[in-house]
Structure 1
Amino acid sequence: MANQTEVKEIILVGFPGLKVEFYIPVTLVLLLIYMASLSANGTVISLVIMKKRLHKPMYVIIANLAFADLLFDTVTLPKLIAKYWFGSTMTFPECLLQMFLVHFLNTTDSYIFVLMAVDRYFAICKPLRYPTIITSRVVAMSCCTCWVVASSTALTALVMNSQAPPCGYNKINTIMCTNIAVTALACKDVSLIKKTTFVFAMFIQFVPLSLITLSYIIIINIIRLSASSETWRKAFYTCSTHLFAVTVHYAPRVLVYTANEVGLVLNADVGVFVLCLYSYVPHISNPIIYCLRNKDIKETFMNSAARFMSHRVKSNFLPNTVTK
């Protein structure tokens, strides 16, 4: 108990092999990534909320995905940047809170990907029944369910890890508080925590991934049999880009959890690289894959930008006219 109370703060190591002379360039890149995510996902959320044209089931799902990604980046990146700029640390409860939010938002992403796949399945394979099955009410309730169920699984990890506080060693050798990183600090036996969280993680990864893969296999097969060659190429390109986003989200997570379960210790730098790969790359690419290539969102964005620029030009021109 004495050793447990000695740990007053948790220190994020960040990028383990990073030399001091690279602190500023790396943190500027992180800041740029955060600003890009903030701009892209914030724009998507604002457009879906403000434009009635986008008050459709698919865009509501996309807005939920953008909101989860934006929250995740806000929870992790500013804290990491502050670590390098100001040397800031966190308490164990703060680390637990970040861990909860990290797993909660990642799980929400997984469930929302399933909703998107289901939406595309009915839109392409059951187009006549789509308006009666995928309604705004159904999508709103489904999105709420995703958030609630995701919070319950993350809460389980939070409660279990809170029973195994750190003692002695207080450095987390990565860029954020995760379940694997927090359990590594505990002095007591955490085998039950590891097994429980591994089962949850595999369920969260493999069940949604299986449903998504199955839906896209059916979609691609139906398009291949019924569409012209040009339409087939466009549809296949769209599905392949969606599957790329899904693969980047799921595959590295499965690798990390499996390696931890079997006792395979990844190199610290490799582990951080993989964590960055599946944490931040999708959050920047998702708005491009799901939104900026979408005709409705692209036209809405361009029209809004054109009206904004027109308003700015008029506001700058009118004072000169009055003076003359």
Structure 2
Amino acid sequence: MAPVNHSDVLEFILIGFPGLPEKFYSLVSISFFLIYNVSLYVNLIVVVLLLLSRHLHQPMYVIIGNLSVSDLLFDTLTLPKIISKYWLGDGSLSYTACFIQLFFVHYLGTLDAYIFMVMAIDRYIAICKPLRYHSIISNRLVAIICLVLWIFVAAMVLLVIAPGLMLPFRGTNRVKSCFCSFDAVTVLSYVDTASSRRTRYLIAMMSHLCPLSFIVYSYVIIIQKICSSSRTENWRKAFYTCTTHWLFIGLYFIPRLAIYAYNQLQLNPDNDLSVFLICLYTFAPHFTSPIIFCLRTEQIRRTLSKVLKWNIIYHKY
């Protein structure tokens, strides 16, 4: 449902990096363009491979497929507009389009945290209870869990941002960010939004700290299990995998939680550093997660190699 506009603002203008000199606009637009294309093609390759290859229809890849779809949607709904702003000078979004983007930014960003939680639980069962794995985890169960998460997170985010849909705006419509987000937009209202900002801050922290707690617990148990086992080649491989997963999870959660706390302490965090950190924790995981979680695995590499060889032979003859 479109937001009810109780104001004279008909559109919002994305500012991007507030203090960025104009001579760097081309560099920023090219950077975002490359990020979007890498994320688009890497995630698309993962989704297509998982859909077409029956031997990849396994619980872990079902989870990764949901993550790739979420990241594809997020980048497609945000990056083209900020690229247009820096490349063509068109950073305007209609009132309705801005709030639609706002919803999906928080929806898909929060959804990723819960998908990571399911992924960590799956790895915990696979490593710590390998003999019972297939009796506990199945494709159907994982698909149902992911579907429930898509619905649950959508309802939760809609409830959180609903007060923002009713806010009146007048005069100021310049969003000091690379996309419409709750804090960047609601701060433009001429009414006091401190109470709604505090409520959103608490809910945002809880909605990320809860899955992070499960993730931390799962990987701590996994690492204990690995360290107590014999140090074979599988031990080193499992430990390396956990380390790379930890680096990725840290990249996703730490800057995000830091910005949430910073936004609560400062009314209008519109400096270039905060915008950069938001872009870092938002877009960097989208093109690195398929590489870390999927394209590094032997089954995916073997399948991709077969597809490429078949494609070469097909075009040759």
Q: TM-score, normalised by structure 2?
A: 0.95
Residue 114 of structure 1 aligns to a residue whose secondary structure is helix
Which has the higher relative contact order, 1 or 2, with Cα contacts under 8 A spaced 6 or more apart? 2
CA contact (8 A) 2:43 2:68 kept: yes
Residues 172-181 or 157-166, more deviating: 157-166
Please say if 1:162 is aligned against 2:165: yes
Shift of 1:264: 6.8
CA separation in 2, counterparts of 1:287 and 1:262? 34
The equivalent residue for 1:37 is 39
CA separation in 2, counterparts of 1:90 and 1:38? 22
| Aligned match for 1:129, one of 106, 118, 132 | 132
CA contact (8 A) 1:96 1:158 kept: no
CA separation in 2, counterparts of 1:36 and 1:134? 32
CA contact (8 A) 2:102 2:180 kept: yes
CA contact (8 A) 1:153 1:200 kept: no
Residue 6 of structure 1 aligns to a residue whose secondary structure is coil
Please say if 1:263 is aligned against 2:256: no
The equivalent residue for 2:121 is 118
| Structure 1 segment 130-279 matched on structure 2, within 5 A | 130-263=133-266, 266=269, 268-279=271-282
What does the per-residue CA deviation read over 1:175-233, in whole Å, with 9 as the maximum and x for residues that have no partner?
Answer: 01111111111111212211221121011111111110110000010011013254332
Q: Which amino acid aligns with 1:21?
A: K
The equivalent residue for 1:317 is none
CA separation in 2, counterparts of 1:117 and 1:104? 20
- RMSD (Å) for aligned C-alpha atoms: 1.5
Q: Which amino acid aligns with 1:22?
A: F
Could you list the structure 1 runs, at least 4 aligned residues long, displaced by more than 4 angstroms after superposition. Answer: 264-267
CA contact (8 A) 1:259 1:265 kept: no
Unaligned runs of at least 5 residues, structure 1: 315-324
Q: Which amino acid aligns with 2:116?
A: F
CA separation in 1, counterparts of 2:22 and 2:266? 31
The equivalent residue for 1:27 is 29
Residue 10 of structure 1 aligns to a residue whose secondary structure is strand
CA separation in 1, counterparts of 2:188 and 2:71? 28
What does the per-residue CA deviation read over 1:250-269, in whole Å, with 9 as the maximum and x for residues that have no partner?
Answer: 11111111112223764610
Which protein is bigger by CA-based radius of gyration?
Answer: 1
Q: Which amino acid aligns with 1:286?
A: S
CA 1:229–1:267 in 2, change beyond 3 Å: closer, same or farther? farther
The equivalent residue for 1:318 is none
What does the per-residue CA deviation read over 1:53-112, in whole Å, with 9 as the maximum and x for residues that have no partner?
Answer: 101110010000011011110010001112221424112221111010000001110110
What does the per-residue CA deviation read over 1:135-166, in whole Å, with 9 as the maximum and x for residues that have no partner?
Answer: 11110100001111110121113311011132
Unaligned runs of at least 5 residues, structure 2: none
Count of residue pairs brought into register by the alignment:
312
Q: TM-score, normalised by structure 1?
A: 0.93
CA contact (8 A) 1:113 1:212 kept: yes
CA contact (8 A) 2:177 2:270 kept: no
